[in-house]
Structure 1
Amino acid sequence: MRILIIGGSGYVGTLMTPLLAEQHEVRVLDPVPPRGDHDHVVGSAADPEALATALDGMDAVVHGAMGNLSQTDWPAPDTASAFEVNVASVYATLQAAHAASVSRAVVIGSLSVFSNEPVRLVERDIDEGSEPDATNVYGVTKRLGEQVARIAAQEHGMTVTVLRLAFPTPDDLWPLWALPVKDEPVQVRRDDGTPVPALAASDLAAAVSAALTRDTGDYDVFHIVGADDSGDGRWSTAKARDVLGWTARRR
């Protein structure tokens, strides 16, 4: 399959692009050149001409772009950038995809659509039927991005899949989370000390490939996480297993 990866040079893009390129013909749209020898269109999803050029001849598009961090409230997201990338560029990408007759799209979402307060997210029991309730800028913009994806699927008959990730990390650092704003990888733990494994890059890429096989002309959302789902009910990945045939191999 010929895939355009929006933001393929960013953190999440760098995790998944090399692995997706092993199975698919990959093109990257990003202002910055990607790592590796990949077809690269210089630009962003905010540029209609760059989008049209990058989507030409593609079978599917994966939106994995990330916004900038705030210069005044680091490491919080920059508000304007968060709305531009997580909402406006998702809208622009899906509109341009429809215009280019690209009917399949995967949008990289986040479990941050759920609030981390007053109860930490890792302590919450959630699945795809749970109502997103985040109120911070990142969570709100990711929530809005999901709505944009749903609208595009309904308006254009596209197959649009949102993958809500948590703690994506390189395989060689798993189960630690290589949070980009931290100097060292961290082990995420629940309040009782139970470790929560991060999502390995290879499992992320496998989930994206599985999502790209959907061809139903509708919208759907899946939780793609490395957390153990073996009995406590938190962060269920049962839907991804049953619909996409995906389970985290590193767990």
Structure 2
Amino acid sequence: MKVLVSGGAGYIGSHTVLALIASGHDVVVVDDFANSKPTVIARLETLAGRPIPVHAFDLTDVDKTERLFDAERFDAVVHFAGFKAVGESVENPLDYYTNNLGSTFSLLRAMARHDVRRLVFSSSATVYGDAPVPYREDHEPLTAANPYGWTKAMQEQVFRDVAPAHGLRIALLRYFNPVGAHPSGMIGEDPQGRPNNLMPFIAQVAVGRRPELEVFGDDYPTADGTCERDYIHVEDLARGHVAALEHLDAMVEPVRAFNLGGGVGTSVLELFHAFERAVGHELPYRVVGRRPGDLPAYWADTARAREELGWVAEKTIDDMCADTWRWQQQNPNGFPDA
């Protein structure tokens, strides 16, 4: 298929671009580089061994989106584009609703006008709120604890309403905690400013960019008192997008949600000590007070993805840490600006 990947220069998008190409699909990227750098594309082209067409604009621009669909004939869209920082969404909720919903509206209009009927959407486990664990796709109602999460829940509802009217087939992929990097070390997670997620923060401590890791609470009802999360290697996650794309036409319903996670909980300290193994020595950390809004533990029920997509996560926590450390060592300051 010829696939438009929105946000294809981002962390998960870039790895998925490579997975799509490796599976024989043709890829076109659209990205405004608000949360990524153009130098990512050159590295993707080196890894893929071919040029990758790129359109640099914001999908909320309806006219530019329409012109792109006028110029290219797509068989499917994989939609990553959007703002994604939980804390920032609390500070700037209007920006998040405008950007995340607006880009989706623009994309859906163009798809409808140009008879593009397949879509894989980058959703999130945040739509489960504080549901009982393990999280299952049939849990209702969807909810969220922050504006970022609500934009995902709202987009999912938009897709459910729009799909029957336009004959769309849409897979909603609910991610848990993507970590890791490409085994080459050429592409990986490059957060702008202070990392919002645990793994890149540990990596920056390991490479000397930050003095220590702050562990937010060690008195939770978990095995070692620190929060437990479901981590998934970004390479496994990328494979999940390809599996979902290739399953769209056979889905049991027009819009279907799939959890993409490892299916187990790993604590903050377990991940931290795994990273120490990858680095080969101890790293500094300090326990501080709990962070408001953190849940003690959650992980995915991944049975649906296994049974319907034939997909399971394969890489271990040690794989995730080793690949992240390789990326961080080779790119101590992230991607270059040019």
Q: Same fold judged by TM-score > 0.5?
A: yes
Distance 2:59 2:125 in 1: 23
- Equivalent in 240, 250, 254 of residue 207 of structure 1: 240
Scaled by the length of structure 2, what TM-score is found? 0.62
Check whether the contact 1:111–1:166 (CA below 8 A) recurs between aligned residues: yes
Q: Larger relative contact order (C-alpha < 8 A, sep ≥ 6)?
A: 2
Distance 2:89 2:158 in 1: 26
Distance 2:85 2:261 in 1: 24
Check whether the contact 1:87–1:148 (CA below 8 A) recurs between aligned residues: no
Aligned length: 238
Q: Secondary structure at the match of 2:8?
A: coil
Aligned to 1:124: 133
Find out whether 1:107 has 2:121 as its counterpart.
yes
Q: CA deviation at 1:75?
A: 7.8
Scaled by the length of structure 1, what TM-score is found? 0.82
Q: Secondary structure at the match of 1:45?
A: coil
Aligned to 2:159: 149
Q: State the structure with more CA Rg.
A: 2
Query: 1:172-251 residue pairs with structure 2 within 5 A?
Result: 180=191, 181-182=195-196, 183-185=201-203, 191-193=222-224, 196=229, 198-213=231-246, 214-216=248-250, 218-228=254-264, 234-251=299-316
CA displacement 1:32-52 (0-9 Å, x = unmatched):
335233210111211123223
Find out whether 1:59 has 2:85 as its counterpart.
no
What is the aligned-residue identity percentage?
Answer: 27
Give 1:192's aligned amino acid.
A
Distance 2:73 2:92 in 1: 34
Q: CA deviation at 1:245?
A: 1.2
More helix by share: 2
Q: CA deviation at 1:111?
A: 0.2
Q: Secondary structure at the match of 1:215?
A: helix
Check whether the contact 2:60–2:106 (CA below 8 A) recurs between aligned residues: yes
Root-mean-square deviation (CA, aligned residues, Å) is: 3.1
CA displacement 1:35-76 (0-9 Å, x = unmatched):
233210111211123223433211100110121659xx6585
CA shift in 2, pair 1:148/1:11, >3 Å:
same
Distance 1:143 1:69 in 2: 15
Q: CA deviation at 1:16?
A: 2.1
CA shift in 2, pair 1:203/1:245, >3 Å:
same
